[in-house]
Amino acid sequence: MDEAKIEKKYEALSPFELKDQLIAMAESPRIKMMLNAGRGNPNWVAVFPRLAYSILITFAIEESHRVMSRPGISGAPDSKGMGERFLGFCRIHAEQRGTQLLEDGYKFVTEKLGLDGDSYIGEMVDGILGDHYPVPDRVLDNTQKIIRAYLDLTMCDNDPPEGTMDLFVTEGGTAAMTYIFNTLKENGLIHPGDKIAIGTPIFTPYIEIPVLNDYQLVEIEVEQDEDKNWQYPAAELEKLADPAIKAFFLVNPSNPTSVSMAKESLDKIADLVKNERKDLIILTDDVYGTFVNGFKSLVAIAPKNTILVYSYSKYFGATGWRLGVIGIYEDNVMDKMIAELPEAKKQELYERYKTISTDPAGIKLIDRLVADSRAVALNHTAGLSTPQQVMMVLFSLHELLDIDYHLYKKEMQDIVHERYETLYKALGTEGPELPFYACYYTTIDIRKLARERYGDEFGKWMETAHEPIDFVWRLAEEKGIVLMDGGGFDAPEMSVRVSLANLFKPDYENIGKGISALLDQYKSEWEAGK
């Protein structure tokens, strides 16, 4: 089988599956070193929350020995008076890095958020020991208030809308996505054959999940414009006015283009759901929002219509922790839509949820998500593990305590921007000056670069003589460089997504030079074939 036929076979794969084949080729013994900038797993970790976590475990064990102490065994701690004992512990251990975060965090939650000290520390101690089921199962009480404050700061630019956002903490953003799709279907908010809008380019699973037999949805693309800094043109957003479109799914800042929505687009959607599409469901995945100054999520401007998904994984270097959260405002259109379902569907849902509530019809969507995540019957043992919830609290406090100086955010931004500048300098071209840029990824349009560098005739040959994945294929096979195929994200064909998160600065210089060298090889082949 010739190379073109092999490439064509692999084009049907998700870019995340294609990546595995590219890695296998890039690891060829004839290639000295592989550079994998395909997946967006960051190569940094936030230090102080983790140090604080380790110190908190020590305090928790000390507290557990106050209740019972036998060889290798202690008891479930008693929270009475625990707040004062915790402050005393912090003073004794003041020299340890991480203790300051614990002490400052305690003062913040008691003074700024008004939490009871014993209750807060009792929840953290019990949580980090993991000796009870999560209660409440959706999210621990104090934990919800702290994460909500974090989301108000990072997703709403510290200017949240009126009302209260309910939270469900999940095993990462991927679990959140799975739960949401399933519960929307089970509760009659989406049906097979319904139209949903997808903001493209987008994280591939949002393209792949809706068309599965589980959902059988019809996708309408709302496309960003590469020539307008990857923003949504007004004409594209107008598609959402169609009442046949039940939901709008997007990633903001986008993946792979890494650009957040401009205020004009946010305002247009806010106006649309206020006046024309009060029934439009919006699902926004905002994991990269923390990399953008002044970021505002759609949940901040259209809270009644929006389901927020956020993950701590990228910003804090915590993909292995699996820390995600779903946020839905208490006053939302989804609950109203469930209340207005046909009687037959209401009866079906009554039967579904009757074993977990005396008022099944009154269960909110956010709580239906929890029940459905455990097949309803296991609702009583639902919930994210409590040690994970404690880690979410410490990550949240790390950012909330940095509100005046944003030292951590600046470091994060410096890391990815340095890599971005290094990549484009080695590529021999100016990186696009993009407002609202998270800079976690960058998308390089190889066909566009080919035309700019060597003319339209060469660019046309690139397009017609090669399969769309030929460039990433050869980049892996010949240069040992693994990048994601942009076309798999509905970005331009033969574009590449470069993760700026998982390699070091010199590696991006090599990637830039490798892309240029391969483009030169194409040019030599084109000239030889004339």
CATH number of the domain at 465, please. 3.90.1150.10
Average pLDDT value over all residues in the chain: 94
pLDDT for position 62:
97
SS3 443: strand
- What's the CATH code of the domain at 164? 3.40.640.10
Closest Cα to residue 60, out of 86, 34, 92?
86
pLDDT for position 34:
67
What does the alpha-carbon distance between residue 351 and residue 249 come to, in Å, rounded to a whole number?
29
What does the alpha-carbon distance between residue 121 and residue 54 come to, in Å, rounded to a whole number?
15
* 284 and 172 part of one domain: yes
* 100 and 27 part of one domain: no
* 524 and 426 part of one domain: yes
pLDDT for position 32:
47
Q: Show which of 352, 373, 394 is a domain's final residue.
A: 373
In a domain, 389, yes or no: no
* 21 and 65 part of one domain: no
- What's the CATH code of the domain at 118? 1.10.20.110
Q: Residue 182: how many CB atoms within 10 A of its CB?
A: 16
In a domain, 523, yes or no: yes
- Give pLDDT tens digits for 176-203: 999 999 999 999 999 999 999 999 999 8
pLDDT for position 428:
94
In a domain, 346, yes or no: no
* 85 and 176 part of one domain: no
SS3 413: helix
* 159 and 196 part of one domain: yes
φ, ψ for residue 97 (rounded to 5)? Answer: -65, 130
Which amino acid belongs to residue 370?
V
CB 267 within 8 A of CB 290: no
181 Cβ neighbours under 8 A, 6+ residues apart:
209, 210, 214, 215
In a domain, 451, yes or no: yes
Alpha carbons within 13 angstroms on the beta-carbon side of residue 121 total 30
* 162 and 212 part of one domain: yes
Which amino acid belongs to residue 172?
G
* 325 and 193 part of one domain: yes
What sign does the CA torsion over 297, 368, 171, 394 have? positive
* 168 and 297 part of one domain: yes
pLDDT for position 29:
53
CB 474 within 8 A of CB 490: no
Q: Residue 427: how many CB atoms within 10 A of its CB?
A: 22
Helix (H) or strand (E) holding 492: none
Domain count, the chain: 3
CB 38 within 8 A of CB 482: yes
- Give pLDDT tens digits for 436-467: 999 999 999 999 999 999 999 999 999 999 99
* 117 and 217 part of one domain: no
In a domain, 394, yes or no: no
In a domain, 142, yes or no: no
Q: Show which of 129, 144, 172 is a domain's final residue.
A: 129
* 99 and 185 part of one domain: no
In a domain, 166, yes or no: yes
The token pair at 436 is: 């609202």
pLDDT for position 17:
66
Taking 50 as the pLDDT cut, the residues of the chain under it are 1, 30, 32
pLDDT for position 1:
47
* 170 and 311 part of one domain: yes
Structural domain containing residue 124: 47-129
In a domain, 504, yes or no: yes
Q: Which DSSP string do the residues of 395-430 spell out, in sequence order?
A: HHHHHHTTTTT-HHHHHHHHHHHHHHHHHHHHHTSP
b or e along 335-360 (b: 16 or more beta carbons within 10 Å of the residue's beta carbon)?
bebbeebeeeebeebeebbeebeeeb
